[in-house]
């Protein structure tokens, strides 16, 4: 994991599938809105499907106030539609009211470490 480096992008910055190529792993996230993903994330996932992510390391995260369904939907899309090798922790989902809590920060750190380990495994 020592060699992993993350690049953070907003989905609004990604215009074509070429903007997503040549990464060893992908972690997608969004908030939950009315028990679903926002339309912008749905549109983005259709674009991401064109990249050919099969076998790449993947994970999903999100925040919520009530239901928290979006990260699981993204995670399932990565695993079953894109055929990615997803992190064994499932999706990372945090209630917005506790986003700054120490246990949340630790969960984020642990998730990042697990993604880094998965990237190393899939790149080998």
Q: Which helix (H) or strand (E) holds 47?
A: helix 39-48
CB 37 within 8 A of CB 28: no
Cα torsion 38, 99, 119, 79: sign: negative
How do residues 43-64 score in pLDDT, each as one tens digit? 999 999 999 999 999 999 998 8
Does pTM surpass 0.75? yes
List of domains in the chain: 22-123 (3.40.50.360)
* DSSP helix, strand, coil percent of the chain (3-state; round to 5): 45, 15, 40
How do residues 18-41 score in pLDDT, each as one tens digit? 999 989 999 999 999 888 999 999
Output the six-digit token pair for 119. Answer: 């990237």
CB 80 within 8 A of CB 45: no
């Amino acid at each position: 994991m020592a060699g992993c480096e993350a690049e953070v992008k907003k989905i609004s910055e990604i215009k074509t599938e070429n903007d997503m190529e040549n990464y060893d792993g992908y972690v997608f996230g969004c908030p939950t809105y009315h028990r679903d993903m926002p339309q912008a994330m749905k549109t983005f996932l259709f674009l991401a499907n064109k990249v050919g992510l099969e076998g790449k390391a993947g994970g999903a995260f999100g925040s919520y106030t009530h239901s928290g369904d979006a990260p699981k939907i993204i995670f399932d899309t990565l695993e079953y539609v894109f055929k990615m090798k997803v992190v064994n922790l499932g999706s990372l989902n945090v209630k917005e009211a506790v986003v700054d809590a120490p246990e949340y920060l630790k969960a984020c750190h642990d998730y990042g470490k697990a993604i880094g380990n998965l990237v190393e495994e899939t790149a080998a």
